[in-house]
Structure 1
């Protein structure tokens, strides 16, 4: 288990150390029900005022929807994501109609809430025997055009979902990076009462 190699500083559920973002995938297909289960978990993420700003545009490999999204990835990510079972574009609505209001207004928390949805997606993928890897490497303009995304939505990430494979399927230069990474100690991320982490 990965939890034996990633050691938390305090007692937590193994899910949090078992989840990581591999790039080596088997090429196995994911069924629509399996993919929708992963997205269903993301749907239940918390959000400010229950605005639920997230939206998910998904494509399974070897479908018509796949190629335009795949083509918008940078070359580096295309190199390994070609073996993923699905790609999911996570976007968020920049505006929301808040309780007691009749007009939409800017939602300062849309990206934060979409991040919560991405985490839920990643954890459910792990629980379901899949892996998820969020990517920042894409051509935003090409991707926006590919999925016909209105300007009122922000692109947050593209997620590759796949069944984890041996690192040998990756180019040699990537194989050394195909390990779960660690985290800095909690004391460097959490402080009582005031900010004390340096600049």
Structure 2
């Protein structure tokens, strides 16, 4: 029975009455295909995952003007916030940011900002980032990982060496900071000391990013 609709379903991919796993159906053959054409990282792991196809679909739906509820339905999201990650890609403010972030005098912050400022990225890498800027968007900025490095799997991207953000994300940074402060108070009331420390760490990271963006904007 489908959990969302309540309809009875007949499954297609079964073996002796048991469902075949997503890993068997997708990740295993996809890994074999990647290795066959050389899409692997330095450790021999394939650089394209099944989840990336979902992200591509969400991105394409948003860029072509699909409604939020349509994106939610297609991707099976239960919360609008999950689909907003894709919807925001078409935000005109982000488009202006895209045109400015890699240009001369761009205001950027984050661990990856220095690599852009000092030219440590190759010309090819910069061209790839320009072309794929929308697809590298995170909640509070962008990931500068290149295709040969594989998909970003870092949950702590605020301190990841490839993370960069710009003034266009300042409102989101402040919103996230306010959420983290509420989570700190909630964790304190519950006596969860480790959770308090974790959220306080995130607040400090966001504060550093906001200060760096302000300094860059003022020319300091």
So what's the TM-score if we normalise by structure 1? Answer: 0.25
* More relative contact order, 1 or 2 (CA 8 Å, 6+ apart): 1
Q: Which has the higher helix share?
A: 2
Q: Which has the higher strand share?
A: 1
So what's the TM-score if we normalise by structure 2? Answer: 0.23
